[in-house]
Structure 1
Amino acid sequence: METQNNFAIGSIPKHIMSIAGPMIIAQLINVLYNVIDRIYIGRIPHVATLAMGGLGICLPIISIVMAFANLFGMGGSPLCSIARGQGKNDDAEEIMGNSFSLLVIFGIILTIVGFIFKEDILWAFGASKHTISYALDYLSIYLIGTIFVLVSLGMNSFINSQGFAKVGMMTVLIGAILNIILDPLFIFVLHMNVKGAAIATVISQGISALWTLQFLTGKQTILKLRKKYFKLNFYYVKRIFSLGTAGFMMGITNSVVTIVCNSTLQTYGGDLYIAIMTIINSIREIAQLPGQGMANACQPVLGYNYGAKEYKRVLTGIKFVTIVSFIMMFVIWLAITLFPEFFIQIFTHNQKIISHGITSLHLYFFGFFMMTFQMVGQSTAVGLGKSKQAIFFSIFRKVIIVAPLTIILPKFIGINGVFIAEAISNFIGGGACYITMWLTIGRKLQQKCKEEAVCIPQH
């Protein structure tokens, strides 16, 4: 099995695609956990718009929970890939054990803090007197499953990093199928509405977490989750935090932007536009998956080859994933631009939301394909263990560009400014991220190729 998943031999594109296919499917299924909730909630009789708005207020909190899964999953798994490429499997297992302990500890902390401050947080995040009850109903139950989210998402990264992308896909497939079955049962048959959606999600995520742990403690895995490595080692904890901060900041900045958007939309457009943004976010989560999946799939391959000092293969991988990701993202952008009503109707049949949402969707997704460069630039930095660059890439687009523009533009051009802010960031953020990656990481890889008398691929 170790030989089978040796990324330092064989075709780089083949290795990346063998991971990317199952990973994209897995990430799509993972997104469906929350998106399916929104599809069903959007069809609750009489209260769909307010219920959708209430769920939209919860999205920043869900992003924060996922950010902590990224902190320890994306922080530990690239380090495992590098260590495995160096032949240091014991070190890799200790990194994985420490990551698991951190996921459990922070899962408990987030659950406690969430229950204590949930109502205050929801008001601060843009709730209104009409949506607060729906937001509280959903969040109160969702928080119970916080530890399940962290373990299933965080530890699944260690399955993928070893090359077991199909197993990683099964982790989320099992939970998603359960969610699809349980959502209509709890929401419509048992008449639990928003609470029912949350219960279905918690049960599904719990099963996903159990599946993940079963595999990582079983016989098929290369790196095994062992109790002796649960004790925190400060050296590894520091490295996990350092590298994982990039993925963490990506989740946190998404949360910050959603909070700013919700507050601005409440001021200029009310609950209707919060519901529209909730739908647009749902479409974006699905639309970005092919590009993000390709970018994430290259991380274990790049990290392994970097650890094995195969720098030419690392450069080949970066170029391949850039081209393929861009093509996929461009096709998706074209489909959304040409058929906006089709995508909105997946979530609602409310004509008012559809008519206002089409314009908002066009503005928000303008230049969406430029996000390719943000994804590849950041994933390359994470995969090679370059924490400083990865953190910068995470913060730049959302915090420095999107959030300020979301506040400023509506003062001059009204509600459309909220959606245009995202479009502007796609060009500036994506371009700056990728150029910076090539000027820093790319140049160093090329220099190492020269030093080892390796032919550098043209670009």
Structure 2
Amino acid sequence: MNLNYILNGNLIKVWTKFVSASVVGVILSTIYTMVDGIFVGQGAGEAGLAGVNLAWPAVTIILGIGLLFGAGASSLVSIYIGQHNQDKAEQILGSVIKAILYVGIILMILGFVIADPIVKFLGATPDTYQYTKDYFLVIYMMAIPYLLANALNPLVRADGSPNLSMIMVGAGAIGNIVLDWLFVIELGWGTKGAALATGAGVILSTIIGLCYFLGGKSHLKLKREYFKINSSLLKEVIKVGFVSFMIQLSIGVVILLQNKIIYRYGNTADIAIFSVAGYTISLYIQLCVGISQGMQPLIGYHFGADSIKRMHKLLKITLIASIIIGIVLLTCLIYYGEYFIQLFGITPDLLPLAYKRTVIFCLGSPFIGIVYTMGAYYQSIHRNLEANIVSIGRSFVLQILFSILLPIYMGVEGIFYAQPFSDICSIFILGGVMLYSYIKYNNPID
């Protein structure tokens, strides 16, 4: 890693190198989930598709914990690299991987022991129960590689190897696609097959990441003397990464709530359409995540090196790119959405309704990138209060509020309007946070 080039080279080129690799990586990661939905919809029908959606709130717990460690550690590692403090960065790497092993074992045991009550709590009905349980059980049995894959990817990027982080996800995605076809379509294993294919993909990603830090060309090394939990550093990791965990957890809580509300006002077909809308918007959300994650180590390097003006220019570039991409993708959905929705096995009689609801669901897309970028920015410079308010305000507060209120007046349609309402209104929360940050630190974004 050429830190001098990152801190002094052409800003657009540096930004493009990190962000483009991160974006490609998260697009491939989204394919993990989306391909599951496509193959399950084709192989198991609307009940199978609904089963995956019902299980997803439980899956977000694993994703959130992985990002708790990965995002928190990568943010701190970036700053320590900018300060040329390699020992601290390597202690964080060792502490995080050791902690993940312990947490993964706990999740595997819990997943096996309490599977039935959890599946019932998630809202599975007789026609979706087995699909939901199969997906849930397999994912939780894969907890350790799932956690490691989600944590190692941002750490590889923070170590200055964005292209390898892209390869990690790409290799897993390709394996997932091939095995999805084999397990779900050819062997007819339903949601169990989809979860097994996903698990195989994350195992491959984990192997690549571990090999990189153990014997590859990494700047940081996973050393035996640091492969132990340093409680003080781990607390810092958790403190910084908490916002990433809460974002994922809030996604799960909101989906769980929305599933229950949809069943109150609708049926399994409505859940299947909601699942398709969720897959669709996740493509843009993951693009926002990719852009913000690509920006994060760059912000950390510059913050650690006290290069504040250049850091603010990176933030502006990221904001502009996020907004433009959101507008382009929404336009593509409006004109070509029906072709995309057909991939999920939605029956022709439901296709017009699914298209209408999906477009409504995604109307706030241009605003999402602003929120994710600013949340990642505040997280990178250790303004954890601002990061949490920006990110959790949109997901927990606004989405839950609108999800509860709108269906009272609009029925099941209200769930699909809740998403754009919360995306647009989140800008007002962001404005308040930026004003608070300006007043407290007298450090405007210039």
User: Could you tell me the TM-score, scaled by structure 1's length?
Assistant: 0.93
Counterpart Cα distance in 2 of 1:223 and 1:434: 38
Which one of 136, 141, 147 corresponds to residue 138 of structure 2? Answer: 141
Out of 72, 75, 92, the residue aligned to residue 75 of structure 1 is: 72
Pairwise CA distance, 1:187: 1.7
Q: Distance in 2 between matches of 1:10 and 1:237?
A: 33
Q: Which residue number in structure 1 is paired with residue 401 of structure 2? A: 404
1:279-336: CA deviations, max 9, x gaps? 1111111122333222211111111100001111111111111111111111111111
Structure 1 residue 87 and structure 2 residue 92: aligned? Answer: no
- Partners of 2:223 and 2:442 lie apart in 1 by 35
Q: How many pairs does the alignment contain?
A: 446
**Which residue is 1:269 aligned to?**
266
What is aligned with 1:175?
172
- 2:343 counterpart residue number: 346
- For the Cα contact (< 8 Å) 1:26–1:170, is it kept in 2? yes
The Cα offsets for residues 422-442 of structure 1, whole Å up to 9 and x where unpaired, read as 111111113422552365169
Counterparts in 2 of 1:12 and 1:414: CA distance versus 1, 3 Å: same
Amino acid at match of 2:231: F
Is the contact made by 1:402 and 1:421 (CA closer than 8 Å) also made in structure 2? yes
Q: 1:339 is paired with a residue of what secondary structure?
A: helix
- Give matches, 1:56-205, under 5 Å: 56-205=53-202
Give every structure 1 segment of 4 or more consecutive aligned residues whose post-TM-superposition deviation is greater than 6 Å: none
Give 1:404 deviation, angstroms: 2.1
The answer as to whether partners of 2:21 and 2:294 remain within 8 angstroms in 1 is no
Q: Look up the equivalent residue of 2:334 and give its one-letter code.
A: T
Q: Distance in 2 between matches of 1:360 and 1:189?
A: 31
Q: 2:391 matched to 1:394?
A: yes
Instruction: Give RMSD over aligned pairs.
Output: 1.8
Aligned pairs (5 A) from 1:13-32: 13-32=12-31
Deviation at 1:401, TM superposition (A): 0.9
Equivalent-residue separation in structure 1 for 2:111 and 2:27 (angstroms): 27
Give the secondary structure class of the aligned counterpart of 1:43.
helix
Match of 2:11 in 1: 12
Letter in 2 for 1:341: E
* Distance in 2 (alpha carbons) for counterparts of 1:355 and 1:112: 43
Q: Percent of aligned pairs with the same residue?
A: 26
Contact 2:131–2:190 (CA<8 Å) still a contact in 1? no
Aligned to 2:256: 259
1:185 is displaced (CA, Å) by: 1.2
State the partner residue of 2:434.
437
Q: Confirm or deny: 8 A CA contact 1:74 1:157 kept in the other structure.
A: yes
What letter matches 2:10 in structure 1?
A: S
Provide the secondary structure at the position in 2 that maps to 1:127: coil
- Give CA-to-partner distance per residue, 1:7-29, whole Å, 9 cap, x none: 22112332121011111111111
Partner amino acid for 1:182? L
Deviation at 1:343, TM superposition (A): 2.2
Structure 2: segments with no counterpart, 5+ residues: none
Counterpart Cα distance in 2 of 1:441 and 1:345: 47
Report how far residue 386 of structure 1 moved.
Answer: 1.8
Which one-letter code corresponds to 1:33 in the other structure?
Answer: Y
Distance in 1 separating the partners of 2:431 and 2:210: 36
Q: TM-score, normalised by structure 2?
A: 0.96
- Asked if 2 retains the 8 angstrom alpha-carbon contact of 1:370 and 1:431, the reply is no
**Alignment check: 8 A CA contact 1:298 1:383 kept:** no
Q: Deviations over 1:77-103 (max 9, x none)?
A: 000000110110110111111111222
